[in-house]
Amino acid sequence: MEDWRRIPAEGFTYVGYRRKSTVKDKTLRNTLREIVSGKVLFDEPMSRHTSMRVGGPADALVFPDNLDALGKVFKLLQHLRMPFIPIGNGTNLIVKDGGYRGALISLKDIKSIRLEERGAAQVALYADAGIALSEIVLLAAGKSLTGMEFCAGIPGTVGGAVRMNAGAWGTELKDAVDSVELMNGSGDIRRCKRETLNFSYRNLEITNNAIITRASFLLVRGIKKQIQDRITEIMGMRKAKHPLEYHNAGSIFKNPRGGIPAGQIIDELGLKGTQVGGAKISEKHGNFILNVSNAKAGDILTLIDMVKNKVRQYRGIDLETEVKIIGED
């Protein structure tokens, strides 16, 4: 019998470790420690794991370091109907100050990468969900492969970037993706070809609870110097436009369809520089909220609400957040 089946699901109500400590919770903790070959943290402040540096404790934050362990954790949590969310590098994530009741599964420690020749001109790059985009950009450039330069400076992992259909400078992940591998609740992995996937602006539609375990990208042989020059150019543009001196989560809001960019609207309404607690709307780029001084998630959420209200009131536009907000107040 697999380890996790030792915990009977019947009558198990997950209430959060910090709220109520039961024997079952202890068993659950021990089981998680046993089946996750990697790091397992309990009551872990998420401010340590998000680029915004805010967020209360997650009941459990687990780092399975292989697909077998990931499958077991996935099955255990589903068996117990315990809430969970897969995460990557936490660069598009705001965890509320009350933390997250359930388990956050970080894919950061699942990270192999390989190249496969596809005829004379193309190469497929297979990367596990935990691989950093920056690693792919560097590897591709080093091998004179073009197609991933637009990702230079995006601080996410493959899993987070594919889920978000991350993009910059007019190109999105969907333009480079050849296939995506998804783990379902039974721990089975299915490879989906690009044409079967439903990508849209900052989103890949996946079934509830599916976890992205790997993606492949189609790259084309190019000229190393040109690829490296483009990366240098992009990094220069980022430095010039983005307020990278403070902790942040990139663009807070999606750009409204067919209209003016969210940052420009915020600028035109005179909201740049507005500060609540330790969080401030950047003076340099209106779509960035910065953690300028020990901000709480609540400060950031107050600013987000204020911006949304003003933009609705004065422009009649409902801004949607690009950052994912999880947890409880």
Ligand X SMILES: Cc1cc2nc3c(=O)[nH]c(=O)nc-3n(C[C@H](O)[C@H](O)[C@H](O)COP(=O)(O)OP(=O)(O)OC[C@H]3O[C@@H](n4cnc5c(N)ncnc54)[C@H](O)[C@@H]3O)c2cc1C
Question: Which of 149, 172, 181, 322 does the annotation list as catalytic?
Answer: 322
Q: Enumerate residues 129-148 that contact ligand X by CB under 6 A.
A: 129
Question: Which of 181, 202, 214, 216 does the annotation list as catalytic?
Answer: 202
Question: How many C-beta atoms lie closer than 10 Å to residue 51's C-beta?
Answer: 18
Among the listed ranges 9-17, 85-93, 278-286, 306-314, the one in contact with ligand X (CB under 6 A) is: 85-93
Of these, 164, 177, 266, 297, which contacts ligand X (CB under 6 A)? Answer: 164
* Residues whose CB falls within 8 Å of the CB of residue 35, separated by 6 or more in sequence, listed in order: 3, 4, 69, 72, 73, 76
Least distance (Å) from ligand X to the CB of residue 27? 27
Q: Return phi, psi of residue 4, to 5°.
A: -65, -20
301 near ligand X, rule: CB under 6 A: no
Q: Enumerate residues 219-278 that contact ligand X by CB under 6 A.
A: 244, 248-250
* Residues whose CB falls within 8 Å of the CB of residue 200, separated by 6 or more in sequence, listed in order: 165
The answer to whether residue 106 is catalytic is: no
Among the listed ranges 37-45, 83-91, 258-266, 312-320, the one in contact with ligand X (CB under 6 A) is: 83-91
Element (H, E) at 214: strand 211-221
Of these, 47, 89, 255, 282, which contacts ligand X (CB under 6 A)? Answer: 89
Of these, 56, 155, 263, 286, which contacts ligand X (CB under 6 A)? Answer: 155
Q: Enumerate residues 41-70 that contact ligand X by CB under 6 A.
A: 51
**Nearest alpha-carbon partner for 145 in 169, 127, 125, 167:** 125
Query: How is residue 277 written in tokens?
Result: 């607690």
166 near ligand X, rule: CB under 6 A: yes
Of these, 212, 227, 281, 297, which contacts ligand X (CB under 6 A)? Answer: 212
Q: Quick check: 220 and 118 in contact, CB under 8 A? A: no
Strand 145-146 with 211-221, pairing:
antiparallel
Using a 10 angstrom Cβ sphere, with 0-12 exposed, 13-18 middle and 19 or more buried, the burial of residue 223 is exposed
User: CA 255 to CA 173: how far, in whole Å?
Assistant: 17
Of these, 16, 56, 64, 90, which contacts ligand X (CB under 6 A)? Answer: 90
Nearer to ligand X, 25 or 214 (CB): 214
Number of residues binding to ligand X, judged by CB under 6 A? 31
* Residues whose CB falls within 8 Å of the CB of residue 188, separated by 6 or more in sequence, listed in order: none
Least distance (Å) from ligand X to the CB of residue 196? 17
The answer to whether residue 251 is catalytic is: yes
- In the block, residue with structure tokens 């697999």: 2
Greatest Cα pair distance, the chain, in angstroms, is: 62
The answer to whether residue 21 is catalytic is: no
Q: Estimate to the nearest angstrom the gap between the alpha carbon of 59 and the chain centroid.
A: 19
Least distance (Å) from ligand X to the CB of residue 248? 5
Q: Enumerate residues 310-329 that contact ligand X by CB under 6 A.
A: 324
The distance in angstroms from the start CA to the end CA of the chain is 39
Of these, 31, 47, 91, 255, which contacts ligand X (CB under 6 A)? Answer: 91
Question: Which of 47, 51, 179, 251 does the annotation list as catalytic?
Answer: 251
Nearer to ligand X, 25 or 61 (CB): 61
Of these, 35, 107, 265, 279, which contacts ligand X (CB under 6 A)? Answer: 107
Of these, 47, 157, 179, 282, which contacts ligand X (CB under 6 A)? Answer: 157
Query: If DSSP states are collapsed to H, E and C, what string results for 106-149?
Result: ECCCCCCEEEEEECCCEEEEEEECCCEHHHHHHHHHHCCEECCH
Q: Return phi, psi of residue 184, to 5°.
A: -100, 180
The residues of the shown chain that bind ligand X, judged by CB under 6 A, are 51, 85-93, 107, 129, 154-157, 159-161, 163-164, 166-168, 211-212, 244, 248-250, 324
Give the active site residues. Answer: 202, 251, 322
